[in-house]
Structure formats: C-alpha cells, structure tokens
Structure 1
Amino acid sequence: MTTPLTNPRNGFQGIWPAMLTPLDAQLHIDQAALAAHAQALINAGCGGVTVFGTTGEGPSFSVAERKQAIEQLIARGIAAERIMVSTSCAALVDTLELTRHAVALGVHGCLVLPAFYFKDVSDEGILNGYIQIIEGVQRTDWRLYLYHIPQVIGVHLSHHVIAELLARYPQIVVGIKDSSCDRAHSVRLAQAFMPPLTVYVGFEPDLPTLGAMGSTGAISGLANFLPRTVHRMVLAPQAAGTAQDASRVDATLEALKPYALIPALKSVMATLRGEPGWLRVRPPLVALTPSAHTELTAQLQRAQLGTDFPTHP
C-alpha cells in the first residue's frame, strides 16, 4: 500500500483518511491523540491525512483551535506535506485566514467548500467566493481541492463554477472531492474534468467505479479504521479481492446506518483503541449512548468486520 504522495498533476495519490477528531473531557481537541491517530494511519500506508473535514467536525471548531491543531500535528512529527486541511468556514474571511495559515505551514493542500451559509445563491456568487480565497492567499504554489457535499451544506458546486476556476487557476485547482453519494454525479464529474483534475469520491461503495476511470485515491471516513481495504477498492478496482472488500464496506455501512454517522464512527474508534474518550463529539452532534455503543460494537463483532490497521503507531 505504499504510493507516492502526488500524481503528475500534483493531486494526491492513495488514501488520505477524513480523520475523526478526538476530544478531551472538556471537549477540547486532544492534540496527542490526534497526532497518534494520524501517525497510525500513515504507518498503515496512507499517503497522508485530512483534518477538519465533515467527518472531523471541522465547522464545530474555531479558527484558533484549527490553527493550533495543525501546528501541533506538525510539532508532534506529522510532516506538513502529509496533511490536507479542510479550511471551510461559513465566513469567507475565516476560510481565507485558515487557508493562508495552512499554506504558510507547507501542507499538501486545502479542501474548500463553496460558501455555504446562504442557500439558493447563484453560480456567480459561489465563483466569487472561491476567487476571494484564491486571490487572497496571494501565492501560486499551493493546491486547492474543491469540496462538494450538497446534502450537508445545502449548496451545489456546478460544472460551470468548476470549469471557470480551472480556466482561471489551472496550477492551483487540482482536484474535486465529491461526497454527494451520487455515483452518476461523480461519473459525470470524472467525464467532464478528469484529466486534468482528479475526482475523488467520499462514498466508499463508489470507489471501484471511479478507480476504473482513473481516480488515484480517496478521502474516506471508513479509512479511519479500514485504510487498506479502501485503498484496494480505488487503486485495484479490477483485482480479484475487490468484490470481497466492497462487501466488507457495504456490511460496515449497513451496521452504521441506524446511528448518526460521525458518533458511530467515533464509537468504532473507541472500541478499537479501548478508549471511551473517542466517543465524545461537539454539539450539535450527540454521542452514542452506552447501550447504543455496546450494541454497535456487538454488531460489528458478530459480522467479523474488524479493522485493518495497527491500533497504535
């Protein structure tokens, strides 16, 4: 599962898990646990890690908290080039501040949502938001990954906006993370823009389809504990064992379905680490109850789904 960090277009290769964010008893970021989790994933062969995306509860943390966490990851031994940062905020000025900070630290790239507080905005408004960020960074030596997850933020990223950004900033815009969970939409994006961009899907069952079209990796929530499985699904879509991997992923998602996804993923980590603190989430999310945590653990054990990376770095 060893892959170079980037492909020729400078988009990432391999699996860059959408990291869950561990919290302490005061619901502050547990910096040591975050760094240990990142190191375990990299040791398992991941190209890098993605911090403060949807799975990482990114919008639940302040600008200051997010800056400190990236600085701490680097200080605790995670190479900046192996970090992808979701810098998305409701206010574009905050997104710009986080993006400048991440670029200055030398991270691999920034994953950025369209401006998402106001709904039913025009393509022109969404495009202007991205332009404000790109021009505001005042550098050309960084990578922007566009982030599409309309079922969460209520805002769509259109082909028109993507094409305009690619035409204006071909050396900065390098990829699209499509987490719409709509395979047909992901395929249309790949047909329209790949290459030169790379389309990465967030919904794991769609990985073999996009892998067969040339996608080179994924930012995946399940990769917090199934990085090798997810890696094979996208980078070896025709391999003999891929169907078995896909069945494992489908069974895992089915077990998680009765629960809110992020608290459920944290429940899995709490079991794997033997650390109940992993159950903690920030409001407005609500942690699984002890009984729900026990039941989910039992379901996963009965299905013998398990994990495929060492639980400690």
Structure 2
Amino acid sequence: MPTSLSPGHAAPFRGIWPALLTPLNPDLSIDHARLIRHCQRLLDAGCGGVTPFGTTGEGPSFSLAERRAAVDALVAGGIPASRILVSTSCAALPETLELTRHALSIGAHGCLMLPPFFLKGVPDQGVIDAYRYVIDGAADARLRLYLYHIPQVAGVGLSHHVIATLKRLYPDTIVGIKDSSCDTAHSVALAEAFMPELMVYVGNEPDLPEMGRRGSTGAVSGIANFMPRLVDRLVMQSGAPTTSAERERVQQLIALLGGYALMPALKGVMSILDQDPAWLRVRPPLLALNPQELRTLEEQLRSFGIDTRTD
C-alpha cells in the first residue's frame, strides 16, 4: 500500500536553482573542486539553490557512486545540503531509490525524478508504479519529490492522470513539477490543473514570465549557469517594465545556441566566460565543441554581449 507521509516539511523551493553543468577532469571523472566553486558562485549571485545531475548535467552518464560522491563533495565543500535539489533519476529503479535515500541522509532539499525512461510506450500505471517503488522504498516523511517532464529527451512523459494520482497518493511528498517540454500551452495547462496545490516550474526560460504571473515561484534553468540574475528576474519579477526586453534577450540567446548541440554549447559558454578550456569536456556520447565551433561561438557571444557580473 502507498505510504501516506505526514505533513509539516518545507514548502517547494523559491527562486532559481540552476540545472548544473558538470565540470570534468581530463580523464572525464567529475571535477569536484570546480563544481564546488561553480555552485558557490551561483549561490553568491542570489540563486536559491542548485540542481546537480539533471539533463543539463549529463546525469545519466554518471554512475551511482560518482553522483553520490559529488553530492557529498558539495556538502563537504560548504554548499548547504538544504540548498541542493538532487536529480536522482537512473535507468534502474533500485539505483534511483539509493540516490534518493542518500539525498535524504544528507538533508538535501529534495529530489527531482524522471519517469522510467529506458522502455518506451509504457502505460500510465507503469509510470505510477515506478514512482511508488521509490517513494514507498524511501518511506521517509522528509522526502520532497519533484516530478520531471521532458518527453523529448526521456521518451516518456507525465500525463495529468499520473500527476493527479501521485499527488492524491502522496499529498505531502509530491511538491512540484519541472516541465521542460518547451511547450507553452502544456505548461499553462499544468498550471491551470494543479497550481497552487502543486507548484509548476518550467525549464524553457522564455516561458518564465507567463508562469511567474500564474504564481510559479522559480525555475530549474540551464541558462542560469551563467545568467542567473536575469533568469531570476524573468520569473520572480515578471511584471517589471524590463521583462519583455529581457525575455527577448533570452530568446535570442537560445536561438544562438540552437546552432550547436545544447550541452556542449552551454559548456562552451562557460569555457569562454571563465576563460577555462576545462569546461569544454563532456562525457560520451556527447562531443565537445571543436576549435572552429568554439571560435564561432565566441564571436557570436561577443556580438550578443554577456556580462556575468550583471546577468
């Protein structure tokens, strides 16, 4: 039977919690020191917290042990566990459960979990059962779980029926939805169906003002790795006079990055801004930007204009 977890734990997050890029060493292991510095810089810039090992962070490319060790390193390096939203999604449910238990053990804010993403065409009940396996296996009233919808990557989405069923079964555990479908109508429909009881966050930055006006309290954003203040303003100050212009600026940046594979391009931006070629490294099957691509991207960014001190 489902575990009905007791109320009383903290509300869903507020503010911008960047979908962290994962810096790598030359042997393609995780560079803990650089990751800690990156997180601290984002917190210093006003981010509410950080989100390691999601799609932007190449999460499924890293083993359970690597992900657990990196989260431990963040905490040991001074990043408060309460400001970490851990993406625990793995192809194997027992590993998702283990990472979820680990996040609970360190006092992380919560966990972000994809539906089962290897087998395609599964029925809603199979998706529900996968979440039940993790929630019931954790059996911990502290668990705050954010459902992660990115069907264009995962190949499996979250229907309204799945979301409503999980919220009914676990009203104090299911606290939010991260909708990265990049479909404005879908995000608005989720907001209309589930907010304010269930917070809806979008990963598509141009949709942030619309969602902010509907009551969304933040975002998990890839672009926030290097433009955290601007992304924060889009959702938290959605009625400001500058919002329209800043939304257009983000749209232009997304269009610019659309000429490249996304994660290598985001790492390319970090490499250019930090003047640090180590940021270019990615895990296979991704390919790092080649020298010509990097030069072109640098020229485009120079014309676009990014100032990390203000963005």
Is the TM-score greater than 0.5? Answer: yes
Report whether the alignment pairs 1:187 with 2:199. Answer: no
Quote the residue 1:164 is aligned against. 165
Quote the residue 2:40 is aligned against. 39
Report whether the alignment pairs 1:98 with 2:105. Answer: no
Helix, strand or coil: the match of 2:190?
A: helix
Query: Share of identical aligned residues, percent?
Result: 58
In the alignment, residue 58 of structure 2 is paired with which amino acid? E
**Deviation (angstroms), 1:248:** 1.3
Quote the residue 1:60 is aligned against. 61
Superimposed CA distance per residue, residues 191-246 of structure 1 (whole angstroms, 9 cap, x where no aligned partner): 00001010000000100111110000000000000101000101111100111211
Once residues 198 and 106 of structure 1 are traced to their aligned partners in structure 2, the CA distance between those partners, rounded to angstroms, is 21
Against the structure 1 CA distance between its residues 309 and 25, is the aligned structure 2 distance closer, same or farther, given a 3 Å change threshold?
farther
Against the structure 1 CA distance between its residues 26 and 198, is the aligned structure 2 distance closer, same or farther, given a 3 Å change threshold?
same
Helix, strand or coil: the match of 2:112?
A: strand
Once residues 249 and 159 of structure 1 are traced to their aligned partners in structure 2, the CA distance between those partners, rounded to angstroms, is 29
Helix, strand or coil: the match of 1:284?
A: coil
Against the structure 1 CA distance between its residues 104 and 80, is the aligned structure 2 distance closer, same or farther, given a 3 Å change threshold?
same
Once residues 255 and 300 of structure 2 are traced to their aligned partners in structure 1, the CA distance between those partners, rounded to angstroms, is 10
Helix, strand or coil: the match of 2:148?
A: strand
Asked if the contact 1:50–1:85 (Cα under 8 Å) also holds between the matched residues in 2, the reply is yes
Trace 1:1-313 onto structure 2 (pairs within 5 A). Answer: 10-308=11-309
Asked if the contact 1:44–1:309 (Cα under 8 Å) also holds between the matched residues in 2, the reply is no
Aligned residues: 303
Once residues 173 and 201 of structure 1 are traced to their aligned partners in structure 2, the CA distance between those partners, rounded to angstroms, is 16
In the alignment, residue 178 of structure 1 is paired with which amino acid? D
Once residues 301 and 232 of structure 1 are traced to their aligned partners in structure 2, the CA distance between those partners, rounded to angstroms, is 23
Asked if the contact 1:59–1:89 (Cα under 8 Å) also holds between the matched residues in 2, the reply is yes
In the alignment, residue 48 of structure 2 is paired with which amino acid? G
Superimposed CA distance per residue, residues 79-112 of structure 1 (whole angstroms, 9 cap, x where no aligned partner): 0000010000011111001101111110001000
In the alignment, residue 33 of structure 1 is paired with which amino acid? R
Once residues 165 and 9 of structure 1 are traced to their aligned partners in structure 2, the CA distance between those partners, rounded to angstroms, is 19
**Deviation (angstroms), 1:309:** 5.7
In the alignment, residue 141 of structure 1 is paired with which amino acid? R
**Deviation (angstroms), 1:140:** 1.1
In the alignment, residue 139 of structure 1 is paired with which amino acid? D
Alignment gaps of 5+ in structure 2: 1-8
**Deviation (angstroms), 1:307:** 2.9
Once residues 289 and 99 of structure 2 are traced to their aligned partners in structure 1, the CA distance between those partners, rounded to angstroms, is 31
Helix, strand or coil: the match of 1:147?
A: strand
**Deviation (angstroms), 1:9:** 6.8
Superimposed CA distance per residue, residues 37-89 of structure 1 (whole angstroms, 9 cap, x where no aligned partner): 00000000000000000000000000000000000000000000000100000
Against the structure 1 CA distance between its residues 253 and 306, is the aligned structure 2 distance closer, same or farther, given a 3 Å change threshold?
farther
Against the structure 1 CA distance between its residues 29 and 309, is the aligned structure 2 distance closer, same or farther, given a 3 Å change threshold?
farther
Once residues 173 and 13 of structure 2 are traced to their aligned partners in structure 1, the CA distance between those partners, rounded to angstroms, is 13
Once residues 156 and 247 of structure 1 are traced to their aligned partners in structure 2, the CA distance between those partners, rounded to angstroms, is 28
Once residues 33 and 247 of structure 1 are traced to their aligned partners in structure 2, the CA distance between those partners, rounded to angstroms, is 31
Once residues 275 and 211 of structure 1 are traced to their aligned partners in structure 2, the CA distance between those partners, rounded to angstroms, is 34
Once residues 283 and 246 of structure 1 are traced to their aligned partners in structure 2, the CA distance between those partners, rounded to angstroms, is 33
Once residues 242 and 300 of structure 1 are traced to their aligned partners in structure 2, the CA distance between those partners, rounded to angstroms, is 21
Helix, strand or coil: the match of 2:115?
A: coil
Once residues 141 and 309 of structure 1 are traced to their aligned partners in structure 2, the CA distance between those partners, rounded to angstroms, is 36
Once residues 201 and 10 of structure 2 are traced to their aligned partners in structure 1, the CA distance between those partners, rounded to angstroms, is 14
Asked if the contact 1:60–1:282 (Cα under 8 Å) also holds between the matched residues in 2, the reply is yes
Helix, strand or coil: the match of 1:285?
A: coil
Asked if the contact 1:9–1:174 (Cα under 8 Å) also holds between the matched residues in 2, the reply is no
Quote the residue 1:5 is aligned against. none
| TM-score, with structure 1 as normaliser | 0.95
Alignment gaps of 5+ in structure 1: 1-7
Moved over 6 A (4+): none
